[in-house]
């Protein structure tokens, strides 16, 4: 509001004398027209009173070369100290999620290589797992790129920063996040179809899953880009509070989380029915018990914890939201890789067999005959 008043004042002064120092807005205070040699004093801006009782003043000298620097500086004259505890908290959050995404990135890359290199592991189930792993990898990379674009320097003014690079990094990050949620939805749909035993996973089905996981987010991202370009082209598109266009991205994510939650509850219902000894054969009980154990481990991976925040305003309990969505979310890829790959008995068996064959070729060690084992869980 003060900036608008200042700009109006500057416009009124355009037709007057050009001698001395021109009025200008320094992003904090409005400085009026002054003659050379004059010292102008301005009271601390009213906005500072929201944080502290600021009663000081700032001065500038009008010289032949223009305005001098403000003295004393705003943060000294207006007694505005940096909020060290909050700054330390955000720095800690950034450190934690940076470590989490780094570890997840490495572990996920290893998991993808394992599923791609071993021919016996190539199937529809692992194809979906690989796509999910890739979304977590892209999500981690997107976070690193976004941080490098927006927070590379402490002197960056986020109220005026508006470059193609920073906007592109924000768009890429939003797409990776959307793709991640949609591939979690694909995993839930696939698991539900396996338990129902009424779904044939053909190549056409995999194309449909791919279209849902990779293609649908593109549609919403393009719509959101268009809305920001034509109606809200401000800053780096990273501030979405009170923006109606943000629901173009948030809406589909909320819907996917809600559908995932309903599918999860339906999976629990199906497993409870199948675990009833009167409804199942004895030979199948161990398989369904393993399915139950594994399904319970999928609670955080189905995005169930996001249900608590996605229907609340974005500014609701920001500290807790940051802790869950950034800190805990950064390790989500690590959990996915462990549960979907490294703890999978089929993967462990194939890796063990390849290790024994390598030993046999390298050292002439005869590989022992593999012991028979039951079929691993289908997910």
Let me know whether 266 and 212 are in one domain: yes
Let me know whether 151 and 22 are in one domain: no
pTM: 0.70
Let me know whether 193 and 173 are in one domain: yes
Q: Is residue 371 part of a domain?
A: no
Which of 26-40, 45-59, 208-222, 280-294 is modeled with the greatest confidence?
Answer: 208-222
From 55, 78, 101, give the residue that closes a domain: 78
Q: Is residue 52 part of a domain?
A: yes
Average pLDDT in the chain: 79
Segment among 103-107, 155-159, 190-194 with least mean pLDDT: 155-159
Q: Is residue 372 part of a domain?
A: no
Let me know whether 165 and 262 are in one domain: yes
Find all residues with CB under 8 Å of 171, minimum gap 6, and list them.
221, 225, 237
Let me know whether 92 and 238 are in one domain: yes
Q: Is residue 104 part of a domain?
A: yes
Here the CATH number for the domain that contains residue 192 is 1.20.1070.10
Let me know whether 118 and 61 are in one domain: no
From 41, 60, 78, give the residue that closes a domain: 78
Contact at 8 Å (CB) between 100 and 324? no
Q: From the centroid of its chain, how far is CA 21?
A: 47
The pairing of strands 39-43 and 30-31 is unpaired
Let me know whether 14 and 36 are in one domain: yes
User: Is residue 293 predicted with pLDDT exceeding 70?
Assistant: no
Can you count the helices (H) and strands (E) in the chain? 13, 5
Q: Is residue 34 part of a domain?
A: yes
Q: Determine the structural domain holding residue 71 and report its residue range.
A: 1-78
Let me know whether 112 and 167 are in one domain: yes
Segment among 49-63, 176-190, 260-274, 312-326 with least mean pLDDT: 312-326
CA–CA separation, 313 and 296 (whole Å)? 29
Here the CATH number for the domain that contains residue 58 is 4.10.1240.10
**What's the whole-number mean pLDDT along residues 173-184?**
94
Nearest residue to 377 via CA among 350, 346, 335, 355: 346
Let me know whether 181 and 108 are in one domain: yes
Let me know whether 179 and 313 are in one domain: yes
From 78, 102, 124, give the residue that closes a domain: 78
Segment among 116-130, 185-199, 208-222 with least mean pLDDT: 185-199
Let me know whether 62 and 131 are in one domain: no
- What is the secondary structure of 187-237 as a DSSP string? HHHHHHHHHHT-----HHHHHHHHIIIIIHHHHHHHHHHHHHHHH---TTS
Q: Is residue 365 part of a domain?
A: no
Count of domains in the chain? 2
Q: Is residue 377 part of a domain?
A: no
Let me know whether 318 and 226 are in one domain: yes
Q: Is residue 366 part of a domain?
A: no
């Amino acid at each position: 509001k003060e900036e608008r008043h200042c700009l109006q004042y500057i416009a009124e002064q355009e037709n007057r004398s050009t001698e001395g120092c021109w009025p200008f807005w320094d992003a904090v205070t409005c400085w009026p027209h002054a003659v050379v040699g004059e010292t102008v004093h301005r009271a601390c801006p009213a906005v500072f009173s929201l944080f502290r009782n600021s009663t000081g003043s700032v001065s500038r000298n009008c010289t032949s070369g223009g305005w001098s620097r403000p003295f004393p500086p705003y943060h000294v004259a207006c007694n505005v100290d940096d909020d060290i505890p909050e700054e330390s908290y955000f720095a800690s959050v950034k450190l934690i999620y940076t470590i989490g995404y780094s570890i997840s990135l490495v572990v996920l890359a290893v998991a993808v290589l394992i599923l791609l290199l071993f021919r016996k592991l190539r199937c529809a189930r692992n194809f979906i797992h690989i796509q999910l792993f890739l979304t977590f990898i892209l999500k981690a990379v997107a976070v690193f790129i976004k941080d490098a674009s927006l927070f590379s320097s402490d002197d960056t003014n986020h109220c005026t920063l508006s470059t193609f690079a920073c906007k592109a990094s924000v768009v890429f990050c939003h797409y990776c996040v959307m793709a991640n949620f949609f591939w979690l939805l694909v995993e839930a749909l696939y698991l539900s179809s396996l338990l129902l035993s009424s779904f044939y996973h053909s190549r056409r089905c995999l194309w449909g899953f791919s279209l849902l996981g990779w293609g649908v987010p593109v549609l919403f991202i393009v719509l959101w880009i268009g809305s920001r370009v034509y109606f809200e082209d401000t800053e780096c598109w990273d501030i979405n509070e009170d923006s109606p266009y943000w629901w173009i991205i948030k809406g589909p994510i909320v819907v996917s989380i809600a559908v995932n939650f309903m599918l999860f509850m339906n999976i629990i219902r199906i497993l409870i029915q199948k675990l009833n000894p009167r409804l199942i054969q004895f030979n199948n009980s161990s398989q369904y018990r393993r399915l139950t154990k594994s399904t319970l481990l999928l609670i955080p991976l189905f995005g169930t914890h996001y249900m608590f925040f996605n229907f609340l305003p974005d500014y609701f309990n920001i500290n807790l939201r940051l802790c869950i969505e950034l800190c805990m979310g950064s390790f989500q890829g690590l959990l996915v890789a462990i549960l979907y790959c490294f703890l999978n008995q089929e993967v462990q068996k194939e890796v063990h067999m390849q290790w024994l064959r390598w030993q046999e070729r390298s050292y002439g060690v005869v590989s022992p005959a593999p012991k028979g084992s039951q079929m691993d869980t289908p997910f």
